[in-house]
Structure 1
Amino acid sequence: MLLDAEQTGSAAGLHPNWKADDHLIAVLARNAHEHPDEVALRERDQGIWQEYTWADYLDVVLAFAAGLEAEGVSPGDIMMVIGDNRPNLYFAMLGAIVLRAIPSPAYPDTPPGEIADQLAREDIELAMGEDQEQVDKLLLAREKHPALRLIVYDDPRGLTTSPPPGTAAFEDIAAAGRERLEKEPTLRDALLARPNVHDVAILLHSSGTTATPKGVPLKHGHLLAGVRNAAAAGYFRQGEVHMAYLPTAWVGDFAFSVVAGLELRFIVNIPESQETALHDLREIAPTLYFSSPRAWSSMLTRVQVGIAESTPFKRWLYQVFMPFAVELERARLKGQKPGVMARLRRGLGEFLIYRPIRDQLGLSRVERPYTAGEAIGEDVFLFFRALGLDLRQFYGQTETCALAVAQSREDISLTSVGRPFPGIEVKIDDKGEILIRADNVFDGYFRDEAATAEALRDGWLHTGDAGQFEEDGALVVLGRVSEIVHTADGRRYIPTYIENRLKFSQFIKDACVIGAARPFISAIVCIDFEAVGQWAQENGISYTSYADLSQKPRVYDLIQGVAQDVNGKMPEGLHVARFVNLHKEFDPDDGEVTRTRKLRRELIDERYADIITAIYDGRDEVDYEAHITYETGQTGVIARRLAIRTTEGGG
């Protein structure tokens, strides 16, 4: 089965400037030919760093491709890939690409039911799983989708004694491929000649906040154009040291760890596990580092917790130098230059505080730190810039290969996301929607002509995001156009705009703002357990669980203060008038948020209808029955009494 490569016209006609032999495998082969002994990829395995040169990289990819072809894989076949970052998962994706087959990554925490849905939607017969856990999920999914004929696994632990039918080890497939390559002298060159710049290189997916995730096919030409545009803007440099820890199903990982890694010969480092990533980060000391606003905020919380638990002298040093640096950075963003004494104090702080903290975090060598995905809190943004990191924001979507707009060193702002990269056009239409035209904009959704026609019109991608340009030409992203709603008295607002500002606080992990057709705006808040727990410890507040902590009166005071601070920055009538602290976090396994933690509003409105009704009835508390499912499959009900708080001046 081949993807519809001509959803909007012939492949070559869409991009006449692309060259047929300019594709990811050709770039990999060039690196292996010109820099065979240069380290391309490193993985920490049982504490020891295992290295792959560019020659190794290509050899494994071609061996796996040859083995896959012997298993009957053909052009257009789709291969699910599921697991954490592992060299063999990357090799497997590129091996499939050699055969003009298409990797389709899934998030590692995707449950069997959702896996089965993706297998069926995409007619998938082949999957690559990281380990026994993923293989077990794929086997359960196969019961609903028996067309899944082959499951390849990387880590053989638990699978070697009696492998389940229809499974095979990555190493066995690659070994069979190597044997083919030895017996067929012309096969290696034939494999390298297979791909084409117009082939789909990977099938990624939208977040699926309101419906089934849409498939987003990205071709070699799209991906290479995106990386080259970003490199032309100084966003990437050749030879970056990069850590691959982002989910393989997210466009950013493929764009950074694979495409930019190949095109610019990065040294890509893979941590031993997600649990050791922060420890490994310090040992890797990357020069390029991307993280979401949520992750940057968690890192700040970790610093604050560490300082709170350190010696009195270190706490004193932190209080002397860190607030000073933050205010200095705030002044710099306003165009003010520091005086001589300020520069001297900044230099002393670099030696005593800033550099040691950067080193402790593993960011001592980072020259290009970035954040994207949602708005970042002012306190978080200023903290890391004050720490001496040139933290910058960027904007992109899966449909643009993640790369479209970014801040340069000269146009740092707390509100905008910067200017378009070279080769990218951006405009705002009459409805306030951001439109993008470029070679890295995809050509249409997978098997969804209606969605394609809606997104791609007259050569422009309609992003679905509302935005505006500042006077200096920088782009401001306001939120999703589809989420623009009105209160009962007709006041227009975007919930995500308010939610992001609530989440700027380290004490709030998630928030769902409610107010469409309502007399006022309210919010369901999920506290950040780590940050609020540390605050509670410092303030002598005992608690037994997340639910218990969330309902403490002083925690309500804390969250009320955050809400009132946000209210002070919002127009009259768009204040959060009432809120409730939920007894639990929003959970992707419960369907309340996507795997990328975007809210599924309709489900939240339905599930917490009793709480929402109590908020608007003016009640001070509500009894809520939470239905839960245990790991055994048994279900139960837990009754919770939740307080509801009114903010001062929140009308």
Structure 2
Amino acid sequence: MRMKDYGIWHDITWTQYYQNVKKVAMGLHALGVKRGDHVAIVGENKPEWLFSAMGVMSLGGIFVGVYTTNPVAECEYVVGHSESVVFFCEDEEQFDKALAFRDRTPHLKKCVVWDMEGLKHFNDPMLMSLDDLMALGEKTDQENPGLYEKIVEEGKTEETASIIYTSGTTGPPKGAMIGHQNYLWIARATEKITKMETKDETISFLPLNHVYEQIFDMMMHMRAGHIVNFTENTDTVMNDLRDVSPTLFHAVPRIWEKYHSGIVLRMADATWLKRTVFNICFKIGSRYNTYKLSNKPIPWYLYLGYQLAYFSVFWKLKERLGFDRV
């Protein structure tokens, strides 16, 4: 995987990934987290999200994602309803939410913060940095060689891996239990459709507490071995997309609608000739894809028309969007 920090992309190898997950798992084990316990996670898409979630799962725990935009009341509901014993928080802002409701969530014992900026001199028995947790995990692993591998081997596919909570727009959020076998089945099905390989690259920007992003960043990542690229922040997605030029881009319908509306608005300000050429090419592309997706033979004249449209319009558009390798 790769992450962007202050404009520079940093690589994380599979060995580093494994070691970090192991340290998190053994650190949680030292804190008393056991198989079947719930651990909540709130944070933007970062490698730390994967270290935390995979660490919980490999220990036999159940991770519970929380939206970063959730107010205190909704965070409290998810953490309390799931009876989470540990809460991974990205930074001070998210940790402050936990401080506001911790007296009302008796199961919560520890908050592990990834970024300690602003909290380094804050003394609280509930607070622990991710670095300290991983140091504890490394020490525990050295004192108990082979224990981590034994715990992983004891895991069963029918066990629950995560709980995904709904957004709660029509009532209290509801938790959907996702099993390891569910994730494995989805990964196999996705692999058949996408044909992803180790040379492929994706970009992570949808919320990681959403199962759709988890499929590509966690389950398919483990199965296909492709490179997951984490954007610097939500404001740099478009620039980061052009930087990476992923070979596969996954998004929910709302994202595709925003792309479409953005293109349409840009074309509305274009010259009459450019608008006309674009509209003709768009119709050709639409007809071509109708044949393509239904596995019907493509007429020769439509094939030639599409090639002309692709190299005159679509290629430039894909390049500008960062889709030139998709």
Runs (4+) of structure 1 exceeding 6 A deviation are none
Whichever residue aligns with residue 319 of structure 1, its letter is R
Residue 237, structure 1, aligned to residue 193, structure 2: no
Could you tell me whether the CA contact under 8 Å between 2:59 and 2:152 is conserved in 1?
A: no
For 1:293 and 1:267, locate their aligned partners in 2 and report how far apart those are by CA, in whole Å.
23
Aligned to 1:289, the other structure's residue is in SS state coil
Cα deviation digits, residues 178-231 of structure 1 (max 9, x gap): 122233333343343242222211111244454323221111111101221232
Instruction: State the partner residue of 2:97.
Output: 137
Shift of 1:348: 4.2
Match of 2:66 among 106, 129, 134: 106
Aligned to 1:105, the other structure's residue is in SS state strand
Could you tell me whether the CA contact under 8 Å between 1:328 and 1:338 is conserved in 2?
A: no
Whichever residue aligns with residue 102 of structure 1, its letter is I
Match of 2:30 among 62, 70, 75: 70
Residue 299, structure 1, aligned to residue 259, structure 2: yes
Within-5 A mapping of 1:225-304: 225-232=185-192, 234-239=193-198, 240-304=200-264
Residue 322, structure 1, aligned to residue 278, structure 2: yes
Task: Give the stretch that moved more between structures: 159-168 or 328-337.
Answer: 328-337
Long gaps (5+) in structure 1: 1-40, 367-651
For 1:50 and 1:200, locate their aligned partners in 2 and report how far apart those are by CA, in whole Å.
33
For 2:207 and 2:247, locate their aligned partners in 1 and report how far apart those are by CA, in whole Å.
20
Match of 1:151 among 99, 108, 111: 111
Whichever residue aligns with residue 84 of structure 1, its letter is E
Could you tell me whether the CA contact under 8 Å between 1:98 and 1:194 is conserved in 2?
A: no
Whichever residue aligns with residue 86 of structure 1, its letter is K
Residue 222, structure 1, aligned to residue 182, structure 2: yes
For 2:191 and 2:134, locate their aligned partners in 1 and report how far apart those are by CA, in whole Å.
34
Aligned to 2:194, the other structure's residue is in SS state coil
Shift of 1:272: 0.6
Instruction: State the partner residue of 1:55.
Output: 15
Whichever residue aligns with residue 219 of structure 2, its letter is V
For 1:308 and 1:158, locate their aligned partners in 2 and report how far apart those are by CA, in whole Å.
47
Shift of 1:130: 1.1
Shift of 1:103: 0.5
Shift of 1:147: 3.6
Within-5 A mapping of 1:219-618: 219-232=179-192, 234-239=193-198, 240-307=200-267, 315=271, 318-332=274-288, 333=290, 337=298, 340=301, 346-366=306-326
Instruction: State the partner residue of 2:80.
Output: 120
Instruction: State the partner residue of 1:43.
Output: 3
Instruction: Give the aligned CA root-mean-square deviation in angstroms.
Output: 2.3
Could you tell me whether the CA contact under 8 Å between 1:86 and 1:130 is conserved in 2?
A: no
For 1:356 and 1:225, locate their aligned partners in 2 and report how far apart those are by CA, in whole Å.
37
Could you tell me whether the CA contact under 8 Å between 2:38 and 2:83 is conserved in 1?
A: yes
Aligned to 2:120, the other structure's residue is in SS state coil
**TM-score w.r.t. structure 1 length?**
0.46
For 2:297 and 2:184, locate their aligned partners in 1 and report how far apart those are by CA, in whole Å.
39
Compare the two structures and name the one with the higher helix fraction: 2
Aligned to 2:323, the other structure's residue is in SS state coil
For 1:236 and 1:317, locate their aligned partners in 2 and report how far apart those are by CA, in whole Å.
39
Match of 1:175 among 132, 135, 143: 135
For 1:172 and 1:48, locate their aligned partners in 2 and report how far apart those are by CA, in whole Å.
26
Aligned to 1:290, the other structure's residue is in SS state coil
Cα deviation digits, residues 332-353 of structure 1 (max 9, x gap): 437795554x655544443342
Whichever residue aligns with residue 326 of structure 1, its letter is F
Structure number with the bigger relative contact order (C-alpha 8 A, sep ≥ 6) is 2
Could you tell me whether the CA contact under 8 Å between 1:66 and 1:177 is conserved in 2?
A: yes
Compare the two structures and name the one with the higher strand fraction: 1
For 1:70 and 1:121, locate their aligned partners in 2 and report how far apart those are by CA, in whole Å.
24
**TM-score w.r.t. structure 2 length?**
0.90
**How many matched pairs?**
320
For 1:163 and 1:289, locate their aligned partners in 2 and report how far apart those are by CA, in whole Å.
43
Whichever residue aligns with residue 91 of structure 2, its letter is D
